[in-house]
């Protein structure tokens, strides 16, 4: 999908090929969808009786984690396909997945902290799930550090594909830790909450109505659109650095 | 003529062990670090008797994993600096044999440190760590993070920052081993019934197996020219 634009970009990085129509449609759909889910979450869904307005942050908090899940999943797929096919595009997708996923994971952490302040009476606590989510962010920060440390481009792509596959372990741990380590206070909304969970609420039809569209948006449209844009940016950056080298050699 | 897999593994692991027996630089550094770490922990955590029982498995595993990082770094840097890694890649052996060979060597060093730590901590902390199940947990845990450690050390040895990058890259992905091993050790030492902590040992072994297979498959890409 990016092959055409990459050849254009190589000729003139300042004026790369026009955005593919599909990308433009995706971008518009994502923006409209985000606005719609915000309206659903902020105005249409009822106010939680116990927690009040702050509960609405949940409509972003949980979907943003799943957005990160998709993006980091793209890193795994990109890594495997890069190792199998050796096409740069897959590595660019993997890198884009890490950056987009990291942004989503940080949104997830921040919204969680904002919610926890009134509900748990603290911004942060060393709960197993909070800790594993923070470690997940650090894993992908390590990915970016490691990536910056490898000079040879082919070696960098192969190494980071391998690391991207292992890094996904931290995502799986974050997802499943509340099922294996019982002493968490993090509530589970879908399914039974752990015994000590504090600040849970029932997934009533109103909650589901606002949650499901938001979840679908963050799981699919949002990461795909952002990753695509990021891949195009990476192609442009690489073309630019090529031109810089060429200009310096002249 | 192709050397058989087992012969290649034995040759590589044997070379590492022989070199270590003669120089003793890696093992000494690891052992000293582990000893210091255990002592520093007892100061830093100001452990009283009750807190000791709680913290001891965490101290054991954090110490072991940091000591192992020293070993992984040294073992791969040696290969890289002397140009031996290129020779290994040229040799008519499969890449996975190189991986298993290095893994066996790394595993041995960390296990030595682990086996020395258990009686030492038994004396220092007044809790009996010389238990068959603790030994098994040590074996599985060390084997587990040695697999991913060997793979990542091969990667970081070829980067600019080298030593600095390995802990950053290793700790998050070795977390499943740390988590399950600490839980299992804590369960055994706490005298909980076997049914309570057995699941952690099984998880530890299962995750170890998955990591081993993944590392065997992926090492090829890390050891490319």
Q: Exposure pattern of A156-187 as b/e (b: 16+ CB <10 Å)?
A: bbbbbbbbbbbbbbbbebbbebbeebeebbbb
Tens digit of pLDDT for each residue in B90-125? Answer: 888 889 999 999 999 999 999 999 999 999 988 888
CB contacts of B155 in chain A (<8 Å) are 146, 159, 162-163
Cβ–Cβ contact A151 with B under 8 A: yes
Cβ–Cβ contact B122 with A under 8 A: no
Question: Could you say which residues from 153 to 182 on chain A have a Cβ atom under 8 Å away from some Cβ of chain B?
Answer: 154-155, 158-159, 161-163, 165-167, 169-170, 173, 180
> Residues 6 or more apart from A40 whose CB is under 8 A from it?
A59, A209, A210, A213, A214
Pair of tokens at residue B214: 């993944």
A126 alpha carbon, distance to own chain's centre: 23
CB contacts of B172 in chain A (<8 Å) are 135-136, 138-139, 142, 167, 170
- Cβ atoms of B62 and B142 within 8 Å: the answer is no
**CA-to-CA distance for A179 and A242, rounded, in angstroms?**
49
Cβ–Cβ contact A201 with B under 8 A: no
Of A64-78, A200-214, B33-47, B186-200, where does mean pLDDT reach its minimum? A200-214
Phi, psi of B10 (to 5 degrees): -60, -40
Q: Whole-angstrom distance between the N-terminal and C-terminal Cα of chain A? A: 33
Q: State the nearest Cα–Cα gap between B80 and chain A, in angstroms.
A: 15
Pair of tokens at residue A176: 């499943």
What domains are defined for chain A? 20-249 (1.20.120)
DSSP A55: G
Please return the burial class of B132, using the count of CB atoms within 10 Å of its CB with bins 0-12, 13-18 and 19+: exposed
Average pLDDT over residues B159-188: 89
Q: State the nearest Cα–Cα gap between B17 and chain A, in angstroms.
A: 28
> Residues 6 or more apart from A20 whose CB is under 8 A from it?
A1, A4, A5
**CA-to-CA distance for B179 and B201, rounded, in angstroms?**
11
The mean pLDDT value of chain B amounts to: 89
Beta carbons of B155 and A163 less than 8 Å apart: yes
The pLDDT, as a whole number, for residue B128 is 85
Beta carbons of A135 and B172 less than 8 Å apart: yes
**CA-to-CA distance for B224 and B125, rounded, in angstroms?**
46
CA-to-CA dists, residue A14 to A1, A9, B66, angstroms: 20, 8, 48
Phi, psi of A196 (to 5 degrees): -85, 0
- Cβ atoms of A210 and A176 within 8 Å: the answer is no
- The ipTM value here is 0.87
pLDDT tens track, chain A, 250 positions: 444 444 444 445 455 567 889 999 999 999 999 999 999 988 888 788 788 888 889 999 999 999 999 999 999 999 999 999 999 999 999 999 999 999 999 999 999 999 999 988 889 988 888 888 999 999 999 999 999 988 888 999 999 999 999 999 889 988 888 777 767 788 877 666 666 677 777 667 778 888 899 999 999 999 999 999 999 999 999 899 899 999 999 8
* Residue from the list B160, B168, B179 with its beta carbon closest to the beta carbon of A151: B160
Helix, strand, or coil (residue A48) = strand
Beta carbons of B160 and A150 less than 8 Å apart: yes
CB contacts of A158 in chain B (<8 Å) are 221-222, 224
């Amino acid at each position: 999908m990016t092959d055409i634009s990459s050849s254009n970009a190589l000729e003139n990085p300042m004026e790369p090929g026009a955005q593919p129509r599909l990308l433009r449609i995706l971008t518009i759909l994502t923006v409209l969808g985000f606005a719609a889910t915000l309206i659903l979450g902020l105005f249409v869904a009822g106010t939680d009786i116990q927690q009040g307005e702050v509960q609405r942050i949940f409509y972003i908090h949980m979907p943003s984690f799943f957005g990160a899940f998709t993006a980091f999943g793209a890193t795994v797929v990109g890594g495997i396909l890069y190792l199998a096919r050796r096409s740069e595009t897959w590595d660019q997708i993997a890198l884009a997945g890490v950056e987009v996923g990291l942004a989503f994971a940080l949104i997830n952490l921040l919204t969680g902290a904002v919610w926890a302040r009134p509900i748990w009476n603290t911004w942060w606590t060393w709960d197993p799930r909070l800790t594993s989510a923070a470690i997940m962010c650090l894993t992908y920060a390590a990915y970016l550090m490691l990536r910056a440390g490898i000079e040879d481009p082919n070696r960098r792509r192969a190494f980071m594909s391998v690391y991207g596959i292992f890094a996904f372990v931290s995502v799986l741990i974050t997802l499943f830790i509340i099922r294996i380590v019982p002493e968490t206070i993090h509530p589970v909304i879908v399914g039974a909450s752990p015994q000590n969970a504090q600040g849970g609420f029932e997934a009533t039809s109103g909650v589901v109505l606002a949650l499901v569209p938001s979840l679908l948006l963050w799981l699919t449209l949002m990461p795909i659109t952002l990753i695509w844009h990021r891949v195009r940016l990476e192609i442009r950056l690489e073309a630019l650095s090529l031109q810089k080298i060429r200009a310096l050699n002249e | 003529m192709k050397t058989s897999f087992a012969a290649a593994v034995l040759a590589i692991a044997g070379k590492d062990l022989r070199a270590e027996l003669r120089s003793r630089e890696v093992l000494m550094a690891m052992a000293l670090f582990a000893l210091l770490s255990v002592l520093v922990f007892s100061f830093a955590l100001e452990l009283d008797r009750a807190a000791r029982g709680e913290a001891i498995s965490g101290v054991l595993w954090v110490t072991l994993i940091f000591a192992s990082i020293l070993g992984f770094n040294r073992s791969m840097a040696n290969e890289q600096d002397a140009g031996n890694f290129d020779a290994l890649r040229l040799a008519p052996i499969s890449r996975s044999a190189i991986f298993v060979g290095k893994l066996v060597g790394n595993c041995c060093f960390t296990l030595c440190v682990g086996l020395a730590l258990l009686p030492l901590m038994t004396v220092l902390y007044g809790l009996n760590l010389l238990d068959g199940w603790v030994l098994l947990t040590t074996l599985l845990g060390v084997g587990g993070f040695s697999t991913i450690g060997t793979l990542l050390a091969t990667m970081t040895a070829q980067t600019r920052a080298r030593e600095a990058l390995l802990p950053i890259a290793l700790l998050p992905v070795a977390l499943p081993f740390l988590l399950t091993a600490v839980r299992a050790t804590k369960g055994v030492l706490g005298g909980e019934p076997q049914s309570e902590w057995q699941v952690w040992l099984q998880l530890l072994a299962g995750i170890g197996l998955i990591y081993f297979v993944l590392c065997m498959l992926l090492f090829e890409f890390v050891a490319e020219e």
